[in-house]
Amino acid sequence: MSKSSTMFLKFVLIVLALAVLALCIFALPALWSGVAGDEVFGGWVRGIIIGMYVSGIPFYYALYQSFKLLNLIDRNDAFSDQAVRALRMIKFSALGVSVIYTATMPFFFLIGEYDDAPGVILIGAVVIFASFVVAVFAYVLQKLLRNAIDIKIENDLTV
């Protein structure tokens, strides 16, 4: 992979990190204060907001591991145990995000029932399934990379 490809992916990671940071700094506090008057509805929205803040931890850790993986690719160390570990941590982080949003799904359901907006439930489900797909993809890449490293080691021993 050329340096320009990894530079572009690093740029995308940085833009994604800044977008989520802006959401956490500006949009979520405004939403928190916007539902201050309604005790029932506000409590459910606050539950989702807390889940969004908590899910930021594994999200940013996955971005860090992705950045680390791209640096390994730049150094031609893509077939290393460090790359396998990075993919493993990305997998666990994505599963963590999925578990956190699964825990907040009752709040999405209550808001959808209260406001007669079943599409709200779909928003929570999309986040759960998207992070689960990332976890499965990282798992598959981890296994493929582990097999490729084992084959490489075996070939190095036969020479």
Closest to 136 (Cα-Cα) out of 103, 87, 99? 87
Please report, in angstroms and rounded to a whole number, the separation of the first and last CA atoms in the chain: 27
pLDDT value of position 2:
64
CB 28 within 8 A of CB 49: yes
Cβ pair 149, 80 in contact under 8 A: yes
Residue 110 and residue 124: Cα distance in Å, rounded?
12
pLDDT in the model for residue 3 = 77
Quick check: 135 and 94 in contact, CB under 8 A? yes
DSSP 26: I
- Burial annotation 20-35 (CB, 10 A radius, 16+ → b, else e): beeeeeeebeebeeeb
* pLDDT by residue, tens only, the chain of 159 residues: 567 789 999 999 999 999 999 999 999 999 888 887 777 788 888 999 999 999 999 999 999 999 999 999 999 888 899 999 999 999 999 999 999 999 999 999 988 888 778 788 898 899 999 999 999 999 999 999 999 998 988 888 775
pLDDT score at 159: 59
Kindly list the domain boundaries of the chain, sorted by start residue.
Answer: 3-158
